Structure 1
Amino acid sequence: MLRPIISIAVVFLAGAAHAAALDCVVNPSIVVGVGGTVPGLLEEVLIDRGDIVKKGQILARLNANTELSTIDLMSEQAANTSEIEAQQARHQLALNRMDRSKRLAGLNVTSKDAVEEAIAQMEVSKREVALAETRKRILELELARAKTVLGQKVIVSPIDGIVMERKLYAGEYLDQDGQLATIAQLDPLSVETFVADSEYSKFSVGLPVRVTVSEPRDEVHVGTVQVIDRVLDAASRTFGVRIMLPNAGNRLPAGQRCKVEFDAKSN
């Protein structure tokens, strides 16, 4: 249930055709405390308070010298095909020996045991090729894992928004549960208001409402009802309503008071 964060005065104008005006507060739709996947020393921080950021934008990088060295080593190992080529050459030699033994056996020049030994050597060399190929695939997977670990050293924004607070700087240590910054999404905005329980039946999700903001002074915008509390507050005899208000270009600031009007007669 939405909790009142300001004193609410609900005023209903006389007459069914008039609108009902309610006090409200404009909030960011999302506020995110951004941290890292792993702890570490901050190599660089690329944001400051007030910056506009996009989802996926790099906010900071942790020191990753060890991970970079590991990737260089594994890249060399994964790219090396010498072992496979050597085993393939041995396999081809064993295959040629087996074919030659079979031909000689057909001429009664060599024994059956010699043929069977040549066949066995060919099978062993075939499996050695397969093992070499498996080892190379494992190295490639290890390289991919090392790159994933390196990716955890980069902190990106989870949303489009504005940096409300930058908490750490380059050279500081980011703990496992620490936060680098706080980011607020301002498009859309979330307008919170509380309505007398006698008006409950007049509200529905998707209902258009007029929102008059304080800044820019007395501008009127149209939002839509997004959430209606299903549990009434018995003490205040009100229920909470959340309104989604589009805010292209982050033009309207959050944190301001406002007025909400809806056409009671239309419901």
Structure 2
Amino acid sequence: MTGLLRLLCLVAALPAAAQDYDCLMDPAEEIELGSSATGLLLERLVDRGDTVKKGQLVARLKSEIERSTVELLETRAESSAVIDAQRRQLEMIERRYERVATLRERGVATEEQFDAVEAERIASQSLLFQAELNREIAVKELERARISLDQREIRSPVDGIVAEAVLSAGEYVGSDDHLVRIVRLDPLKIEAFLPVSLYGEVSLGDSATVRPVAPLDGAYEAKIVAIDRVFDAASSTFVVVLELPNETGQLPAGHRCRLALGPPDRG
């Protein structure tokens, strides 16, 4: 009996094992990448499993018309010939206006002559203003045409992995279609299901230990970023969401895991 009591005392003195809970490792984002423009797909530059960077060109639509429009408007917007010619003409008329105004003050030029040159001066000023306005409009049209051309190139909005390649060159890209599906794996989003008895004992920013199930192993620290305020009555659980840094992409998404509250034991 004495030996049994000693064993019970030793067991009671051992630290309690940390309780762990079911969790799931999900991508931070899952994007079905479409196009703001419609048309035939010229080429898709990535395939399933490829790593992509934010801003990387993923696909191109056919864009001969848009490119030709940009070139045409560049010629119009960059040309100053009409404005230069109109400006020189106005300078000539200004000099004539000043001479006639001087002659009128001396009584040599008539009022009708002065009115005629003034009307010519006003008309020339109007033509110069119109030429400058036309060039400004051409610059704005060029900006719009370049935007339209840029929309024919589809770029990745995030760093991630191509999880699915849907359309191929020659297929039509509609407004409701997506070309590829990209997942962002850094950070991973961890969803854990905790018993409602722990509600109020966890807070935003708390650390937890994530252990992927077999065939993966290891213990990783994650931080709580969201706590569900709606309980699941059937299972008496609530969900907490954590972020797990995954800069090297060593951990996959879509895998089950176990979660224990508190940081990993570094000893």
TM > 0.5 between the two?
yes
Is 1:55 equivalent to 2:67 in the alignment? Answer: no
Which residue of 2 is the match for residue 225 of structure 1?
224
Is 1:243 equivalent to 2:233 in the alignment? Answer: no
Give the Cα separation in 2 of the matches to 1:128 and 1:192.
68
Which residue of 2 is the match for residue 155 of structure 1?
154
Runs of at least 5 residues in structure 2 that lack an aligned partner in the other structure: 1-13
Which residue of 2 is the match for residue 177 of structure 1?
176
Give the Cα separation in 2 of the matches to 1:130 and 1:80.
16
The number of aligned residues is: 250
Give the Cα separation in 1 of the matches to 2:214 and 2:178.
31
Q: For 2:128, what is the secondary structure of its paired residue? A: helix
Which residue of 2 is the match for residue 7 of structure 1?
none
Contact kept in structure 2, 1:211 and 1:222, CA below 8 Å = yes
Call closer, same or farther: CA 1:203–1:112 in 2, change over 3 Å.
same
Give the Cα separation in 2 of the matches to 1:112 and 1:17.
110
Task: Give 1:34's aligned amino acid.
Answer: L
Q: Aligned ranges for residues 1-267 of structure 1 at < 5 Å?
A: 18-214=17-213, 217-263=216-262
Q: For 1:48, what is the secondary structure of its paired residue? A: coil
Q: CA shift at 1:223, angstroms?
A: 0.5
Higher strand share: 1
Q: For 2:210, what is the secondary structure of its paired residue? A: strand
Q: Deviations over 1:246-266 (max 9, x none)?
A: 1121111111111100149xx
Q: Deviations over 1:28-82 (max 9, x none)?
A: 1111100101111111111001111111111000000000111111111112222
Runs of at least 5 residues in structure 1 that lack an aligned partner in the other structure: 1-14
Task: Give 2:136's aligned amino acid.
Answer: R
Q: Which moved more, 1:91-100 or 1:139-148?
A: 91-100
Q: CA shift at 1:168, angstroms?
A: 1.0
Q: Which moved more, 1:66-75 or 1:116-125?
A: 116-125
Q: CA shift at 1:204, angstroms?
A: 0.9
Identity of aligned pairs, percent? 38
Contact kept in structure 2, 1:210 and 1:261, CA below 8 Å = yes
Q: CA shift at 1:241, angstroms?
A: 1.1
Q: CA shift at 1:117, angstroms?
A: 2.1
Q: For 2:199, what is the secondary structure of its paired residue? A: helix
Q: CA shift at 1:107, angstroms?
A: 2.9
Q: CA shift at 1:192, angstroms?
A: 1.2
Q: For 1:202, what is the secondary structure of its paired residue? A: coil
Contact kept in structure 2, 1:29 and 1:188, CA below 8 Å = yes
Call closer, same or farther: CA 1:133–1:263 in 2, change over 3 Å.
closer
Contact kept in structure 2, 1:215 and 1:256, CA below 8 Å = no
Call closer, same or farther: CA 1:236–1:214 in 2, change over 3 Å.
closer
Give the Cα separation in 1 of the matches to 2:74 and 2:235.
66
Q: For 2:47, what is the secondary structure of its paired residue? A: coil
Contact kept in structure 2, 1:17 and 1:263, CA below 8 Å = no
Superposed structure 1 runs of 4+ greater than 3 Å apart: 15-18
RMSD of the alignment, in Å?
Answer: 1.7
Q: CA shift at 1:148, angstroms?
A: 0.5
Q: CA shift at 1:231, angstroms?
A: 0.9
Q: CA shift at 1:112, angstroms?
A: 2.1
Task: Give 1:67's aligned amino acid.
Answer: E
Give the Cα separation in 2 of the matches to 1:80 and 1:263.
68
Which residue of 2 is the match for residue 5 of structure 1?
none
Q: Which moved more, 1:102-111 or 1:177-186?
A: 102-111
Q: For 1:19, what is the secondary structure of its paired residue? A: coil
Q: For 1:249, what is the secondary structure of its paired residue? A: coil
Larger Rg: 2
Contact kept in structure 2, 1:215 and 1:253, CA below 8 Å = no
Q: Deviations over 1:79-98 (max 9, x none)?
A: 22221122112211211111
Task: Give 1:52's aligned amino acid.
Answer: T
